[in-house]
Structure 1
Amino acid sequence: MAIFKSGNPTLTEKIFDNSLTAQANAQGIMSVRGTLNKFGFLMLMVIGGAFYTWHAYASGQPQTTTTLMMVGIFGGLIAAIGIMFKPMWAGYIAPAYGILEGLFIGGISAIINDMFAKSYPNLVLQAVGLTFGVALAMFLLYSFRIIKVTDKLRSIIFTATLGIAIFYGLTLILSLFNVNMPFMSITNGGMLGIGISLFVVAVAAMNLLLDFDMIERGAEQGAPKFMEWYGAFGLLVTIVWLYIEILKLLSRFASNRN
C-alpha cells in the first residue's frame, strides 16, 4: 500500500499495511471524518483529565497533583505502547490514553500558570489557543494543498523529528548524572532556549501535515474501521506534543520579562 512514513512514530506505514486484512470487510472502512470525530472524543477525555488535575492543584493538593502527573506520564506511555503494538485495541485503550495525558497536561499547566501568574497572566489559555490555531492552520494548508506532502518533505520532517528525539533523550540521560543544560529550562529566557523552542514547535506543527496525509491515505486505501481510533490516537500524540512545546516557549518568553 502506498502509504509513506509520518514523522509521528505512532503513524507508520507498517501498521497501516498490517491492518489491511479481512477485518476491513467485516468491520467497515476507515474514513477521514470518522477519524476526526474520534479525535474530538479523545480531546474530551484529555480535557476531563486535565480539569481533574488542575482542580487538585487549585485546591491546594500539590502531592496529589504530582501523583496524578506521574500516573499520567507512565500510564500514558504504557497505553501508547500497547496501542502501537495492538492497533485493533485502540478503540478501548485510546480513551484511557486521553485521560492519562490529560492528568499530566492539567498538572503541568496548573503549575506553570501559577508560576507566571503575575508576569504573564493567562499563559495557559494563550498556549491552548495557539495550539488549536496552529493545528487549524496546518489542516487548512494541507486541505487546500497549499503545502504538498512530498517524499522530500516527509524525509526532512522525519529526520528533524528523530533529531529532536535523540537530543531530548541525551538531555534526559545527562540530567541523571547531574549534568544539566541551563538553556533547556523553561525559566531560561535566553535566545538559545527560545530559538530551540521555536524550532521544535515548527517541527511539531509540520508533523501534523504528515499525520493528516497518513490518515487520508489510510482511508483511500481501505484500512479497516478500527484504524480510525488508531489515527485519532496518533493525531492526539502530535497535538499534545505541540501544546507542551508551545507552553514551554511561552514560559521562556515570560521568563524573559522578569
Structure 2
Amino acid sequence: MAFGGNPVFRGKTFKSAVATVPPVPQAPYGTAPYGTPPYGTAPHGTAPHGTAPHGTGPYGHQAVTPEQLDELYRSPAAGPAQTGRVTYDDVIVKTLACLGAVIVGAAVTLAVPVPAAVVLMMVGALGGFVLALVNTFKREPVPALILAYAALEGLFLGGLTRLLDAFSPGIGLQAVLGTFAVAGVTLLLYKSGRVRATPGLMKFFLVAVLGYLAFSVVNLFVMIFNPGLGAWGLRSSVHVFGIPLGVIVGLVAVVLAAISLVFDFDSVEKAVRAGAPRRVAWTAAFGLTVTLVWLYTEILRILAIFNSND
C-alpha cells in the first residue's frame, strides 16, 4: 500500500495521533521513580546487574546452541512465496482461475435454450463491461469482482458463439484454437526477445487503438440507422480489393490484441523483478483475461464475416 493510503503517514492525522499520547511522568532529580529500587540493588527474583538467568545470553537474550546456529546456516533462504512477493506461478494460477470462470459462464449459455442464452449473453455483455470499469479503477484488486467479471464475459462469449455457430458450424472451436495460437506465438516472441514493450510500440498501440475505437463507434451508428447493410454494418458491406473491410479491420485488431499481450507480459515480468506484493497477481490475471477475451472476440468476428461472404 502506498504511504498515502495509510492514515499514519498523513501529515495532519499523524500529528494529531502523536499529540494524544500522554506525557511520561518524570521523577525529581536525584530520586528514583515510584516502585523502582535504589541504585545497585535488584528487584526480588531478578539477577544482579551484569549477570543473566540460567540459559540466557547477555542482556536477557535466549542463548543459541551451536547446533541451532548450524541448522540456521544450512537452511535455504526465504523465497518470494515465503516473503509474500508475487511469482510467475501466482500469475499463472490466478489467470487459469479467471479462464476457468470464463469457461463455466460459457458452458451455462451453451446448456440453456436459445432464448435464455440470448438473455444471458446481454446480461454478460453489460455486466462484464461494468465490472471491467470497476476493476480497472479500483486501487486494490478484489478477487471476487475479477472472477465475477470473467464469469460474465463467459456468458457473453458463450451466447455469441452459440448464435454464430448456428450459421457456421465449428466456428467456436476455430476461434479458440486461433486465440491460443496467437497468444502462444506472442509469448514465444516475447520470451525470445524479438518483441519488447518499447515506448515507440506503446505510442503506436495507443494511436491504433483510438483509430479502431473511432471506427467501431461509427460502424455502430451505421448499423443502428441503416440496418439494411447487414449484421456487421460496414465490416461486411464494404470491400477492399475484394476483401471484406471487417476482415481487414479484424486482422488489425488481432495485431493490437497481441501487442496488448506483450505489455501484459512486460508488466508481469517487472512486477516479479520488483518484488511486488502477491495481490498484484490478481491484477495481472485480470489484464490477461481482458486481452484474451478481446482477442477471441475479434477472431470469432473475422471468421463469421469471412464465412458469410463465401
Structure 1-normalised TM-score?
0.80
Higher RCO structure, 1 or 2 (CA under 8 Å, sep 6+): 1
- What RMSD over aligned residues (CA atoms) do the two structures have, in Å? 2.9
The correspondence for 1:53, drawn from 105, 109, 123, is: 109
Q: Distance in 2 between matches of 1:172 and 1:125?
A: 27
Q: Distance in 1 between matches of 2:237 and 2:163?
A: 12
The correspondence for 2:199, drawn from 151, 155, 178, is: 151
Deviation, 1:53, is 0.2
Return the letter of the residue paired with 1:183: L
Are 1:226 and 2:226 counterparts?
Answer: no
* TM-superposition CA deviations, 1:138-178 (whole Å, max 9, x none): 01111111212211112112221222122212332444444
Q: Cα gap change, 1:226/1:198 in structure 2, threshold over 3 Å: closer, same or farther?
A: same
* TM-superposition CA deviations, 1:33-56 (whole Å, max 9, x none): 311210011101100100110112
The aligned residue for residue 133 of structure 2 is: 81
How many percent identity over aligned positions? 35
The aligned residue for residue 126 of structure 1 is: 174
Q: Secondary structure at the match of 1:28?
A: coil
The aligned residue for residue 215 of structure 2 is: 167
The aligned residue for residue 13 of structure 1 is: none
Q: Secondary structure at the match of 1:170?
A: helix
Q: Cα gap change, 1:223/1:162 in structure 2, threshold over 3 Å: closer, same or farther?
A: farther
Are 1:196 and 2:249 counterparts?
Answer: yes
Q: Secondary structure at the match of 2:277?
A: coil
- Contact 1:80–1:97 at 8 Å: present in 2 too? yes
Q: Cα gap change, 1:126/1:249 in structure 2, threshold over 3 Å: closer, same or farther?
A: same
Q: Distance in 1 between matches of 2:127 and 2:237?
A: 24
Are 1:208 and 2:261 counterparts?
Answer: yes
Q: Distance in 1 between matches of 2:208 and 2:238?
A: 25
* TM-superposition CA deviations, 1:212-237 (whole Å, max 9, x none): 11221122223322111011011100
Q: Cα gap change, 1:194/1:108 in structure 2, threshold over 3 Å: closer, same or farther?
A: same
Deviation, 1:82, is 1.4
- Contact 1:72–1:102 at 8 Å: present in 2 too? yes
The aligned residue for residue 4 of structure 1 is: none
Return the letter of the residue paired with 1:182: G
- Contact 2:107–2:158 at 8 Å: present in 1 too? yes
Are 1:28 and 2:113 counterparts?
Answer: no
The aligned residue for residue 184 of structure 2 is: 136
Structure 1: state its 5+ residue gaps: 1-16
Q: Secondary structure at the match of 1:88?
A: coil
Structure 2: state its 5+ residue gaps: 7-82
- Contact 1:49–1:103 at 8 Å: present in 2 too? yes
Structure 2-normalised TM-score?
0.67
Q: Secondary structure at the match of 2:142?
A: helix
